[in-house]
Amino acid sequence: MKRLTILWVFVALLWGGCDDFLTSRDNTQVLEKTLFADREGVEDALYGIYSGLAKPELYGFYVPCRMDLLAQFYKPGNTALYDVLHYDFLKPAGREVCNSIWKTMYRSISDINSFLANLDAYEGESLMFGDLYRGEALGLRAYLHFDLLRMYAPVKLGERGIPYITRFGSSVTSFSTVKECYNLIIDDLLEAEKLLRQDDTLLMLPRVRSHEFVICRNREVHFNWYAVQATLARVYYMRGEPGDLEKAGEYARAVIDSEKFPLISDPKDARFVVAGVVAETEAVWGLSNKNLYDPMAECFLTTSDYSAYKPSDSDMSLYESKAGNDWRKEWLIAPPGTGGSTRWVKIIDPVEAGISSLMPAGVEGVNQIRVTEMYLIAAEAALESHPETARKYLEDLVSSRGLERFEGEVTLENIDKEWRRELAQEGQVWFRMKHRHPETVEAVDRNVITMTEEMWQLLIPDDEFEFREDFTM
C-alpha cells in the first residue's frame, strides 16, 4: 500500500501543471529514489507511465477523438469545433486542440525519460526483466514522438520537425528536421526490438493471465515486441523514402505471420472487437483503462445536441454493400436515450451503454494497434508488384467482417475505403489522409476544402519558440 501511495503521488506530480512540476522537483526526486528501491517499485513506475497515457487527456479520449475530428468522422454539436474541422488552427478552438495535445504528450515523454534515467541509476536487487522495462520505455518514447511528428510536422523530410527529447530535465532541446526525427524514432524502435525479444514466447494465445511476475502478464497492454514491429510498419509507411513501403510491408507481414493476433472468425464475437476492451486476439497493443466509458459517453451517447458527436453523412452509408453483410454496421447505432439519433459506439462498452447484456471479453481499455491495420499496410505494399497477394490480405480482412470476395481488380481506392471502415474511431485515418495528401477534403458539412500545407500540420504552441534560436515560427 505504501508503494502504491508513493506511485500515485509521483504520477500526480508528473501530470500536474508544468510550473507545479518544476517547483516540486526536489520532492519528486525523493519519491523517485524511494520508488526505484526494488523491482516492484520499478514496475510500479512503469505502470504509472501507462496510466498517464490512458488518461482522457491523451489516448483515453482526447487524441483519437480529435484526430478523427480532423478525418471528418464527426459532426460535433459544439460549433466552435467546426474551426478544427476546417483545419483553422489559428482560431481559439484550434489553438486549444494543438496546445493541449502538444503539452500533454511531451509531459508523458518527460515521464519516460525520467524512468529511463532512474533505471540507469538503479542500485537495488537484480532486475530479471530489466530488458523488458527498458525496451517498453524506449518503444513508448518512439511511439509518442512519432505521433507528434505526424501531427505537427510537414511530410517533406528536409523541413522542420519536432524536438526529439531523450533526456529528463529542464534544458531546451533543439528542433530536428523531419528526416532526423524519423532516424531517431527508428533508432529507439530498433533498440526496443532487440530488448523485447522475449515477447515471442511471453505473448501467446490464448492470452496468459497467470504468471509469477506482473511484468509478464497481459503483454497486450504493454508495449511489446510485436507493438514495436507494428509501429515500425507505420513509421516506414509514413516516411515515404524509396524502399520504405516494402519495409513497412515486411514488418506488417511479420506481425500477421506470427499468428498471435488472428482475425475473429465467429460473427458473435464481432461486437467485442473494440467495445471498451483491448480487443481479444486482434489487439497487438492497447492501454488498460477501466474509466473509458465516462468521457466517451459524454460525447457519443449524450442527448444534448450541443455535446453530441454524430456520424458524418458519408459515414452513415459507409458499411452498405452488395457483397455480404458487414457486421461493422453495429458500430453505428441509435443507443437508448438519444432520441433515435445514430451515434458511433464502436469503442464504448455495450453493457454500460445499455445496448447489450453480454459482457465483452478481454482487458478493459482502448486499442492502440490492431492487426487489421497491418493487413491494410501489407495489402498496399504488395499491390503493385504482387496484386494477388494484396487481394489475399484484403479479402482475409473483409471476409472476417462478413463481406464476400471483391469483384474485379483490387485498387488503392478499395484499400482507402477499408481504412475508413475498419479504423473509424481509432485516430489513425487522419494520418493516412496526410500520407496520401489529397488536394481537397470533403468536410462533414459537405463543403469541399482546398488543402494547403499548413492545414496538414497542427500548430505548434507559440511559447515553444520563446527560448529557441534554432527554428522560428
Count of the separate structural domains present in the chain: 1
Amino acid at 63: V
Using alpha carbons, list the distances in angstroms from residue 262 to 259, 393, 397. 6, 13, 10
Q: Which of the pair, 3 or 19, is modelled with greater confidence?
A: 3
Residue 376 has pLDDT above 60, yes or no: yes
Residue 6 lies in a domain: no
The three-class DSSP label of residue 383 is coil
- Spell out the residues 6+ positions from residue 132 whose beta carbon is closer than 8 angstroms to its own: 195, 196, 198, 215, 222
Residue 299 lies in a domain: no
Residue 182 has pLDDT above 90, yes or no: yes
Residue 149 lies in a domain: yes
Residue 372 has pLDDT above 50, yes or no: yes
pLDDT confidence tier of residue 12, bands split at 50, 70 and 90: very low
> What b/e readout covers 80-106, taking b as 16+ CB neighbours within 10 angstroms?
ebbbbbbbbbeeebbbebbbbbbebbb
**CATH number, domain at 395?**
1.25.40.390
Q: Which of the pair, 309 or 239, is modelled with greater confidence?
A: 239
Residue 234 lies in a domain: yes
User: What's the burial of 472, exposed, middle or buried (CB within 10 Å: 0-12/13-18/19+)?
Assistant: exposed
- What is the average pLDDT across 250-256? 98
Q: Which domain holds residue 279?
A: 36-292+363-464
Residue 241 lies in a domain: yes
What pLDDT does 362 receive? 73
Among 67-71, 103-107, 215-219, 289-293, which stretch is predicted with the lowest mean pLDDT? 215-219
**Predicted confidence (pLDDT) per residue in 69-117, tens digit:** 999 999 888 878 889 999 999 999 999 999 999 999 999 999 999 999 9
User: What's the burial of 377, exposed, middle or buried (CB within 10 Å: 0-12/13-18/19+)?
Assistant: buried
Among 36-50, 330-344, 368-382, 438-452, which stretch is predicted with the lowest mean pLDDT? 330-344
The Cα–Cα gap between 78 and 305 comes to 8
Residue 471 lies in a domain: no
**E-state strands within 69-111:** 74-76
Using alpha carbons, list the distances in angstroms from residue 374 to 210, 234, 308, 471. 28, 9, 32, 36
Using alpha carbons, list the distances in angstroms from residue 224 to 50, 134, 386. 13, 11, 30
What pLDDT does 291 receive? 85
Q: What does pTM read for this prediction?
A: 0.91
- Could you give the percent of the chain with pLDDT greater than 70? 87
Q: What is the DSSP letter of 180?
A: H
Residue 340 lies in a domain: no
Residue 93 lies in a domain: yes
